[in-house]
Structure 1
Amino acid sequence: MTTIYLETPIKADIHKVFDLSRDIDLHQKSTSKTNEKAIAGRTSGLIEENETVTWRARHLGVDQTLTTKIISMEKPSQFTDIMLKGAFKSMKHQHIFKQKNGSTVMIDIFEFESPLGWIGKLFNHFFLKDYMKKFLLERNKLIKLTAESQYQMKDRSA
């Protein structure tokens, strides 16, 4: 099992960051490089516990489909999704949110395993882990930018 751990500090309210992290429309904007689209299940708005979403995207030159399900959610502190169908042998993504000094720390724990035994393990180690980390960082960058810009606008109007 390969694990990616990321912490993203965001100067915004935990509720706002939590909602942006489960916003299907924002996710699609953050993945424009792979043309990721929600095609089944929840395809717009905020995904909730026990809902699924099926994504279609082009990764590594190959059209792929991935179906995930939110298996747990505690607003606004965490939610977890797992892969039901897709290219991975298994995938689990924990999204954790902590309030700290008026800001939010968004934590991603992304665990995955590739098929094909030892060949998949080599592919993970030498390529896929970095590819997935960059993919998550791009998503987190847009969440941070959106949350902080909305938060600053709110502060100016107060």
Structure 2
Amino acid sequence: MPTIVLETVVAVPVARCFDLARDIDVHCAGNTATGEKAVAGVMSGRVKGGDTVTFEATHFGVRQRLTSRITEFDPPHRFTDEMVAGAFASLRHIHEFEPHPAGTLMRDTLSFVAPLGILGTIAEKLFLESYMRRFLLSRNAHLKAFAQSQPL
């Protein structure tokens, strides 16, 4: 199971960073390359514990849907979303936020398992892990730029 851990320093208070990271509109605005949009569940605003959201996006030339549920919610420090339906065999994304001298240290821990058994394992190694890392890096860069461009 690949696990990607990214740390991003964002020059805003922890609570602000936490709120932006769980904002559906900010999420979709940061994923324009994939045409990502919310199509079911919470479709706008901020998710909270127990909420579900279904995103539709194009990855690898295929339009697909992924539904996640917020399974852990500890504002403003942590929330976790887990796939309940979608292309992966499993996907879990832990979002953590802690004070940092420059504002907030945002830590993403993404663990996933590709479908299709051994073929999925090969895909993880060949391209999927690097693709998911780039996707998260792009998302975080957008969130950081958006957060830091807004008045506090």
Give runs of aligned pairs for residues 2-17 of structure 1, distance below 5 A.
2-17=2-17
For 2:19, the aligned partner's letter is: D
Shift of residue 117, structure 1, vs aligned partner: 1.1
TM-score by length of 2: 0.97
SS at match of 1:107: strand
Distance in 2 separating the partners of 1:82 and 1:139? 17
Mark the runs of 5 or more structure 1 residues left unpaired by the alignment.
none
Is 1:80 the counterpart of 2:80 in the alignment? yes
Is 1:139 the counterpart of 2:139 in the alignment? yes
SS at match of 1:4: strand
Once superposed, what is the RMSD of the aligned Cα atoms? Answer: 0.9
Is 1:56 the counterpart of 2:56 in the alignment? yes
Shift of residue 102, structure 1, vs aligned partner: 4.8
Deviations along 1:78-126, one digit per CA (max 9) or x if unpaired, are: 0000000000000000000010225100000000001111111110011
Distance in 2 separating the partners of 1:133 and 1:29? 18
Q: Greater CA radius of gyration, 1 or 2?
A: 1
Shift of residue 76, structure 1, vs aligned partner: 0.5
* Partner in structure 2 of residue 149 of structure 1: 149
* Partner in structure 2 of residue 31 of structure 1: 31
Deviations along 1:5-46, one digit per CA (max 9) or x if unpaired, are: 000011111111001100000111111000011000000000
SS at match of 1:63: strand
* Partner in structure 2 of residue 126 of structure 1: 126
Mark the runs of 5 or more structure 2 residues left unpaired by the alignment.
none
For 2:146, the aligned partner's letter is: T
TM-score by length of 1: 0.94
For 1:122, the aligned partner's letter is: I
Alignment identity in percent? 43
